[in-house]
Chains A and B, each alone.
Chain A
Amino acid sequence: MTDVMVAVLVEHRGNEIAQPTLETLTLARSLGAPVAVWMGDQPPADQIERLGAYGAAEVRVVEVGDGARHAVTAAAAVGSATADASVVLMVSTFANKEIATRLALATGAGVVVDAAGAQMVNGRVETTQTVFAATWDVRTRVNADKAVVTLRPNTTQALPAETPAAPEVVSVIPLLPEVRESMVSVTPVEREDGVPLSEAPVVVSGGRGTGGDYTLVRELADVLGGAVGASRDATDEGWISHEHMVGQTGVTVTPALYVACGISGAVHHRGGMQASGTIVAVNIDPDAPIFEIADFGVVGDLNDVIPQAIAAIKAHRQG
């Protein structure tokens, strides 16, 4: 089925492609022939090469400036660049879900969001989703001729194509609609070093049980090469910024390893992390619900357990 054109909307921070896009391109290759869509200024040569390495035969560049922050404009831009594609794949983010919705309304496509995978079956896209706080697996078929799917980070392993492509770069002039909304201000979020929470292979989260001191949580995250997460109570207290909140109304994460420190495991929190590969919990209360879903739990004070674990991991590495 290599004749099916699969467009992939590239996530990039400045000029750097985000890891989930490489995962999405990898999935796209299993569905058909990938074409990358880059919203923004002309990408640099090394990034075009990178998209080629993951199988993009073409890079379509569509420039809408700050308009990209409006779902209406972004969807129109993506629509202009993907009119001939049967499948449009994006990374699951709140912004992309809105773009996907508008794109589907404009094209009659069916949408699946937060997919964990997709396959082509008898010419139709079928997706898998993990729902109800990762207690159910759902398989969905897209009935429409066009499918728009948003893919959760860390659900497909990014692998370069066997034969890299040398992508052709094409500029797309979008047809843009009138926009009713206007941006009064945009304050960029200070980016911390390292991988963003939703993309991180390891997440170490701290909750109310940290008492507001994230030193140990950060140190463990550093040692494990992961990002720092938090519960709602912790972000509400102002101990750590909102971008770190894991859960149903925060970031949904599916890392290979999730470590919950001083987090009770409320259903709202679990909804955002229960699909993680391995779950580890440290909590002083043996009855904390987080232990019901932890592969490995330690009933104890995180102020004792975490420093000892960090020291043991370091000692192990020094062999």
Chain B
Amino acid sequence: MRIVVTVKFVPDLQSQRSFTDGTVTRTAEDGTMNELDENAVEAALQLRESLPEGEGEVYAVTVGGADAVAAVRKALQLGVDHAVHVSDESIAGSDVFGTARVLAAAVHQIEKDGPVDLVITGMAALDGLTSMLPTALAAELDIAQLTLASSLTVADGTATIERHMADAHETVTAPLPALVSVTDEANKPRYPNFKLIMAARSKPVTTWSLSDIGVDPVQVGAMASRTTVIDASPRPPRQNRVTVTDKGDGGTQLAAFLVERGLA
């Protein structure tokens, strides 16, 4: 079974995140692999480990600027077999559809060495947080979509997931090849161990440009984007914040605050 995991390079949640010219500021120091993609990598590794030695192969793919290579390096440290970094100036400013097109082309390129059975993504990238990419990628690849999986099992050529929607818990199944997006409930991501970190250092990262994977640059990037960020500004911090220490009347003070604001 061959599995492709998509991993995104995003600003660290704890860093001061910002925008520059309508796109997210991404720097090597403050960037990491999207935390939720650790669950995607974990799901792929667990599937590989459930198969006899040599029967599973996991590729990690990221699309992004030069610094984004850190995302696939992290995936290597976690234990994936191959790392692919698609990077091209023309990709900058892509909307979700541009990104999906590039990722789909990368999957097709990987398929030249053999069929891909599963594509596993995170449920959301913690910067854009749109959760649109998995659906867009499944549509581009024209394969089944099993999204927001809180559990995943693969057997006899089918994938089955459970998902918690607001109104119901669903169990959904589809034949392979399929795309699965996993939530942070799907598993507990492993930590890279020293041996893997050392081994990852010598593992190569394959870098592809758009022409390597047959994508016409005019179809992606800021020019092709169907949406453009025209303004981004930091919100002012909350004003007049008050913190009191309970000395026996904390609840009364809290109630008074709510009444004064017309909230109680």
Report which A residues bind B (CB closer than 8 A).
13, 69, 71-72, 93-95, 97-98, 100-102, 104-105, 108-114, 126, 130-144, 180-189, 191, 196, 198, 202, 223-224, 242-243, 248-249, 251, 256-257, 267-268, 271, 278-280, 282, 286, 291, 293-301, 304-313, 316
Please report the total number of B residues contacting A with Cβ < 8 Å. Answer: 77
Interface string of B219-234 (1 = CB under 8 A from A): 0000001111111111
B173 touching A113, Cβ below 8 Å: no
Closest to A134 in B: B235
A133 to B16, CA, bound (A): 11
A181 touches B146 (CB 8 A): yes
Question: With A140-B227, A181-B144 in contact, do A243 and B129 touch (Cβ < 8 Å)?
Answer: no
Within 8 A of A (CB), among B27-75: 36
What is the chain A residue whose CB lies nearest that of B244? A298
* Bound-complex Cα distance A109 to B132 (A): 14
Chain A residue contacts of B183, Cβ below 8 A: 249
Contact bitstring B224-264, A, C-beta under 8 A = 1, else 0: 01111111111100101111111001111111111101011
**Chief secondary structure at chain A's binding surface:** mixed
Q: Which of B82-90, B120-128, B205-213 contacts A (4 or more CB under 8 A)?
A: B120-128
**Chain A contacts of B127 at CB under 8 A?**
132
Q: Does B171 contact A (CB under 8 A)?
A: yes
On whether A104 and B97 interact (CB within 8 A), knowing A180-B174, A301-B246, A311-B251, the answer reads yes
Q: Are B135 and A141 interface neighbours, CB within 8 A?
A: no
In the complex formed, the residue of B with least CB distance to A132 is B17
A298 close to B254 (CB less than 8 A):
yes
B147 within 8 A of A: yes
Q: How far is the CA of A221 from the CA of B149 in the complex (A)?
A: 31
Given A184-B172, A184-B173, A293 and B238 touching (CB < 8 A)? yes
CA–CA, A223 to B242, complex, Å? 23
Q: List 19 A-B contacts (CB under 8 A).
A: A102-B139, A111-B96, A114-B130, A180-B175, A185-B170, A189-B167, A191-B167, A248-B124, A248-B129, A251-B166, A257-B261, A271-B129, A298-B251, A301-B246, A304-B246, A306-B251, A308-B249, A309-B251, A316-B264
Residues of A within 8 A of B126 (CB): 248, 271
Residues on A with beta carbons closer than 8 Å to the beta carbon of B81: none
